A and B are shown apart, each in its own frame.
Chain A
Amino acid sequence: MLPRTLLHLAELLVVPPLLLGVVNRTKSVFAGRVGPPLLQPYFDLAKLLRKGAVYSRTTSWVFRAGPVVGLAAILSAGLLLGMGGAPAAISFTGDFVLFAYLLGLARFATALAALDTGSSFEGMGAAREVTFASLAEPALFLCLLVFARATGALSLGGMLGPALPAAWAPAAAALLLAAIGLFVIALAENGRIPVDDPGTHLELTMIHEVMVLDHGGPDLALILYGAALKLFLFGALLSRLVLGFGEGALASEALFLVGLLAFAIGVGVVESAMARLRMIRVPQLLVGASVLSAFALVLLLR
């Protein structure tokens, strides 16, 4: 058990930027370009870490603490996630609540750091981000409730453990709907199209990008890495949900990684195929995801 947990911790720390690379590559392929190398995010992080940082007169210690607290919170959330069917590093009843609230802590820290700059751009990004996040929270909880009811387990490790593949037989429809809802929430929480465009820098279209406009150097590296880690966490949830039927440790791990790659490719495909929604339609999308998950929960009533 211990070597497997260590393997997972190593995966948690090393794999996330690769996911970003896969997403960017997929988008390039769709656009007919060659695109950046798969390992480009690692090079970006290394480059940023080598740089110095310039701070604005308006900012205080909150601006410097924001990226640190954000990344620490996401790393702690990663400790609660079981990967590839193995138990998580830390697991207890109701830990998925802590998982969601740790992501909320990361978001709070980033929003405060954004407001610290005293610029209207960052304020706008922070306002939009907290709005969409508060609408995504109930949807996320409903999806996790569907998992909990279907598997009968109340901790993330239990929900993603061996009970999940067994739960597909009686509750296939509900789990499928929950998976769709979770995918939409993953797109919203990670600032992907159709909720936000990670490649744009127009004030009309930015949410996450604009919050980190004034960060540079190592701070930006921490933020970039945190974003990749968050994408990895959601990918892990979905990968285990959809491709969780491996028998034995090796098969489960392999399927897990395949699932992660499929998730990243899926995100890339969605980003290339759809346009960004208008800002007023995003709450409707998130409420739609909640309603879908609530419907999935109703299906599990019997």
Chain B
Amino acid sequence: MSALVLAAIALPAASGLAAAALGGRPGAAHRAACLLVCAGAASGLGVAASVLLGGAPISAAPGLKVDGLSALFLVAIAAVSAAGAVYGLGYHPQASVGARSVRVQLWYGLAVAGMALLAAASNATVFLVGWEVMALANFLLVQTEHERPEIRGAAFLYLAATHVGTLALFALFALLGQAAGSFDFAAMEGLRADGPLGSRVFALALLGFGLKAGLMPLHFWLPPAHAAAPSHVSALMSGVVVKTGIYGLLRVTGLLDAPPAAWGAALLGLGGISAVLGVAFALAQHDLKRLLAYHTVENVGIIVLGVGLALLGRSRGDPALVLLGFAGAGLHVVNHALFKSLLFLGAGSIQHGAGTRELDRLGGLARRMPRTALLFLLGAAAISALPPLNGFVSEWFVYLGFLAAMGRPGGDLLAYAAFGVPVLALAGGLAAACFAKVVGVAFLGSARSAGARDAHEAPRSMLVPMGFLASACLAIGLAPPAVLPPLARAAAAWSRLDPAALAGPAARAGEGAWGVSLVAAALAAAAGVLVALRRRRLATAPRAAPDRVPTWGCGFAAPTARMQYTASSFADLLVSRFSWAIFRREAAPRIDGPFPGPSELRTEVPDTVLDLVLLPIARAYGRLATRARLLFLQRVQFQMLLVLLTLVAMLVLAFAR
């Protein structure tokens, strides 16, 4: 077993080397690298299954231990990394792309290895090593097409954000290590959370892990970076890299005992804001990958809602809240990894097939790329939390957590439920609206550009991983009772509560889960019956009119593709509701005179935190620094004098202590 843990880390790391070493035969090299990644994923999945289904944590080496919480994240890492690697065979093949593809595979393998390392880490040093490896590999992956300036900008922004986060994590683990006397997580368990140590730890954890997870308002680096990377890398980043932030948050808050209720409340607030504003921003986008990236922010918000509930449960000693909040958050981590990677891989297929990822240049792809369309539709329905798919199950657990909170006597938990349930409902409704827009504008209707008209279906190597992810979504959605016991075990491992205490709420949730399965089965049965009836009815119906005619559309004589709703117009009503947070810039057409010439309406939605807060501050600081520079007449002596003075000041401070 411990060998499998090491394999899960080492095999992906070696995959890139395989791709480089066999460079003479690129097809075989790429397949070998992919095989290594899949083997690593299989080992990770095996380890995770053994821990989640059996029970005992697995210690592999000093500093490596896989318990229930790590196992949950290993499942996500394994599934997404394998799917992405297989997808890369068709999307970014070494035979045609060459050295760049070798580099991508090298960094991809390192990123996966880094994530597996940090998930299995039981020691702060190992954790940070894995974290940094993952972060740097991701940076190198984001700037794959570095000849384009916007991609360089996105990569640099990503690097800056991740290093600020890592700095916070260094401070965090230094504090914890000092308080516990050692850097082992086992030694840090049992530290008290109330008091100055606890608040500092929580603030640093929010900053460091929140930056990685993309929690608002620390999400600003996410949309540019995820849109800039190649699609299978974006799938990896959105699917699992941001989840390492959630993992870190869960791990650190799990170490400390008696977390104050304020932590749970703060996470509920931040999660709610991320959920609603994330999807509002997503609605305003018309670049498919940027839209998907903002949806990641929304789903991270939903996960953090679950984590907040679980923390509230721990501070009140309420096992039902702990179980339901953690189950919702944990399952949503896995679910989101599955359906978000499915959607990003689908976006890659669209870009590969139609040549663009601008929604307003697509349309009618369902007829040109039917399999991609079906798989993407499944992913879209999953992310909108529609039954009977997996997105509904994890959100349902979070709802159950809020309902359990509401049922308690006393008012304050009711307030959390009264906040959480409408927020979750609003986020779900907006997500469904957004994906109706995406699927409708991209796949349905008629093609809006030549690229969409001549789109071709993706090759099998790109369809197979999407199919695998979609079937996983369907399986979890149809059989929720199966996922509850592993989640309960992971919850017990995280909260260090007695598993017997969690068994009662788990059983009650399990009954409900059977009900969900039953209704899903009824839904499928009803749909099947209706399809059969309809088919029989239409077979015997009169056939006077020709079979295929242009759309009637209330009698329009000559419909064209440009008359269809664009993505921005579809979302316009909703985005204008959020005009207090989303500041849309419009370049409106000049229409004057009785015969106006052709003109163009262009709308653009800047990210409020990035473009309206951070960049102006950075620019102002730059101007200030430029002016300050002149003061020193650009002489080396003055700059060395500054360094000398700082050194003297620190020495004085050290002696004065």
Contact = CB atoms under 8 A, between A and B. Distances in A.
Given A71-B530, A80-B519, A119-B559, A142 B421 contact: yes
A54 B545 contact: yes
Contacts of B509: 93
Contacts of B613: none
Given A62-B366, A98-B516, A134-B433, A54 B537 contact: no
A82 to B, nearest CB: 14
Interface in B387-422: 387, 392, 396, 399-400, 403, 406-407, 411, 414, 417-418, 421-422
B148 interface: no
A51 interface: yes
A302 interface: yes
B551 A95 contact: no
Interface stretch (B21-29, B41-49, B156-164, B567-575): B567-575
A290 B387 contact: no
A127 interface: yes
A277 B166 CA distance: 53
Given A54-B546, A60-B444, A116-B445, A137 B512 contact: no
Contacts of B439: 112, 115
A199 interface: no
A108 interface: yes
Contacts of A80: 519
B319 interface: no
Given A108-B381, A142-B422, A130 B545 contact: no
Nearest to A290: B422
A214 B541 contact: no
Contacts of B518: 90
- What DSSP secondary structure best describes chain A's contact surface? helix
B314 to A, nearest CB: 22
A154 to B, nearest CB: 5
A301 B436 CA distance: 37
Contact of A134 (B421, B544, B574): B574
Interface in A32-55: 49-55
Contact of B564 (A100, A118, A138, A218): A118
Interface in A5-49: 49
Interface string B11-33: 00000000000000000000000
B433 A52 contact: no
A76 B387 CA distance: 11
Interface size class of B (residues with CB under 8 A): 35 or more
A16 to B, nearest CB: 15
Interface size class of A (residues with CB under 8 A): 35 or more
Contacts of B445: 58, 115-118, 123
A177 B565 CA distance: 38
Interface string A270-302: 000000000000010000001000100110111
Nearest to B446: A118
B396 to A, nearest CB: 6
Nearest to B540: A52
Interface string A101-118: 110110110011011111
A213 B385 CA distance: 27
A201 B553 CA distance: 12
Q: Which of B400, B425, B559 has the most CB of A within 10 A?
A: B425
Given A102-B523, A115-B440, A117-B553, A72 B538 contact: no
A112 B440 CA distance: 6
B414 A218 contact: no
A51 B541 contact: yes
A94 B538 contact: no
B548 A56 contact: yes
A301 B428 contact: no
A190 interface: no
B526 A76 contact: yes
A184 interface: no
Nearest to A63: B444
A42 to B, nearest CB: 17
Given A118-B444, A297-B414, A58 B551 contact: yes
Contact of B552 (A56, A140, A141): A56
Contacts of A4: none
Interface in B565-597: 565, 569-574, 577
B143 interface: no
Interface in B533-560: 534, 537-538, 541-554, 556, 559
Contacts of A149: 406, 414
Interface string B502-532: 0000001101101110110011001100110
B432 interface: yes
B429 A134 contact: yes
A133 B429 contact: yes
A200 interface: no
B456 to A, nearest CB: 17
A107 to B, nearest CB: 7
B563 interface: yes
Interface in A126-160: 126-128, 130-131, 133-142, 145, 148-149, 152, 154
Contacts of B497: none
Contact of A104 (B403, B429, B526): B429
A122 B559 CA distance: 13
12 contacts: A54-B546, A56-B552, A58-B364, A68-B530, A73-B523, A104-B429, A111-B440, A118-B564, A122-B553, A131-B433, A131-B573, A135-B426
